[in-house]
């Protein structure tokens, strides 16, 4: 099949992850992979982002498929169950809001900027080398550290399940994938199931 | 179409467990799969040749290749 420009978006994902090691403020760009899928699903009622443009899915597909870094086993049944997928979605967004909350306190001047990247919501890695000060408020940087933590954490989870199961097994429980599917379901039900 | 004794093999999606990621549609050489309104994958059995590429690719492993009962 002939490759289209959007089949190379995995490069964007890779560049994004690398940039976070040099200047944390690039993390803000990651908001695009939050809003684009949502906008596409709300506007068109499809998972067009997953189906076509998602660089992260492509990256896992490439590493696990072409480069063979995957056992290519079936995911366990619990992982594709609704309670796990929705449960993980809720957990993910709870953690996300906690991150926003911490950012808010830095914006409010009530806490200091913490130059750490938190992996798997637990491990705090010093990351001060990627921050060189900014003319903007410290809260701007705090959000960048928090958001990059979310992106790196989900990448690591995705890489782990890529190794253990099918290359793109992250897509089974990816919060954005689950959210956009729910939006599509709601939209479709709202239209009275007409095709 | 089927003048053999065996029924042709076709892909069948367990739609309730499908996450609509579209990996299957991407690999299908015959473009037989579409994602129905972002909810689940549907197979055009007229186009499907039962090659099994989609089932191999599906991250949730919810595609079965089975003899179609037409
Ligand atoms: S499920 Fe997540 S990782 Fe997979 S294609 Fe969709 S947005 Fe990308
Ligand atoms: S079995 Fe082969 S032809 Fe049929 S839908 Fe899957 S990939 Fe396409
Ligand atoms: S690859 Fe599997 S989970 Fe993804 S859309 Fe196709 S059938 Fe559904």
Which residues of chain A neighbour B61 with C-beta distances below 8 Å? 74-75, 80, 166
**pLDDT, position A1:** 63
- Which tens digits make up the pLDDT trace of A152-181? 999 999 999 999 999 999 999 999 999 999
Q: Do A180 and B60 touch (CB under 8 A)?
A: no
A37-64 residue pLDDT tens: 999 999 999 999 999 999 999 999 999 9
Structural domains in chain B, CATH included, are: 13-67 (3.30.70.20)
C-beta neighbour count of A97 within 10 angstroms: 10
B4-39 per-position pLDDT tens digit: 567 889 999 999 999 999 999 999 999 999 999 999
Please judge whether A52 and B22 are an interchain contact, meaning their C-beta atoms are less than 8 angstroms apart. yes
The whole-angstrom separation of Cα A159 and Cα A155 is: 6
Chain B contact present for A188, CB below 8 A: yes
Nearest CA in chain A to B25: A51
Q: Residue written as tokens 């991150």?
A: A99
Q: Which CA distances in Å does A174 have to A57, A87, A143, A147, B19?
A: 10, 11, 21, 16, 10
- What are the C-alpha distances in Å from B50 to residues A73, A74, B5, B9, B43? 21, 20, 16, 5, 10
Query: Do residues A170 and A158 make contact, with C-beta atoms less than 8 angstroms apart?
Result: yes
Instruction: Check if B55 has its Cβ closer than 6 Å to any atom of ligand 3.
Output: no
Nearest CA, atom 8, ligand 3: B18
Distance from CA of B48 to the nearest CA of A (A): 17
Question: Which residues are within 8 A (CB) of A119 and not within 5 positions of it... i.e. 6 or more apart?
Answer: A125, A149, A152, A153, A156
């Amino acid at each position: 099949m002939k490759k289209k420009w959007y089949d190379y978006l995995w490069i964007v994902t890779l560049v994004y992850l690398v940039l976070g090691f040099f200047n944390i403020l690039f993390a803000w760009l990651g908001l695009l992979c939050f809003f684009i899928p949502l906008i596409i699903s709300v506007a068109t009622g499809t998972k067009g982002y997953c189906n076509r443009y998602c660089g992260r899915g492509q990256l896992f597909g490439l590493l696990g498929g072409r480069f063979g870094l995957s056992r290519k086993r079936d995911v366990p049944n619990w992982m594709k169950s609704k309670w796990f997928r929705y449960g993980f979605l809720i957990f993910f967004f709870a953690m996300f809001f906690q991150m926003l909350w911490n950012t808010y306190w830095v914006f409010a001047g009530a806490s200091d900027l913490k130059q750490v990247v938190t992996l798997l919501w637990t491990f705090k890695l010093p990351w001060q080398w990627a921050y060189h000060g900014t003319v903007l408020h410290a809260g701007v940087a705090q959000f960048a550290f928090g958001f990059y933590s979310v992106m790196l954490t989900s990448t690591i989870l995705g890489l782990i399940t890529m190794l253990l199961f099918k290359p793109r097994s992250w897509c089974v429980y990816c919060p954005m994938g689950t959210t956009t599917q729910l939006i599509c379901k709601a939209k479709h039900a709202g239209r009275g199931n007409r095709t | 179409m089927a003048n053999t004794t065996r029924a042709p093999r076709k892909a069948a999606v367990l739609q309730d467990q499908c996450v609509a990621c579209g990996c299957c549609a991407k690999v299908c050489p015959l473009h037989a799969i579409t994602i129905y309104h972002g909810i689940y994958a549907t197979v055009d059995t007229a186009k499907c040749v039962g090659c099994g590429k989609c089932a191999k690719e599906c991250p949730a492993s919810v595609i079965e290749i089975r003899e179609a009962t037409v």
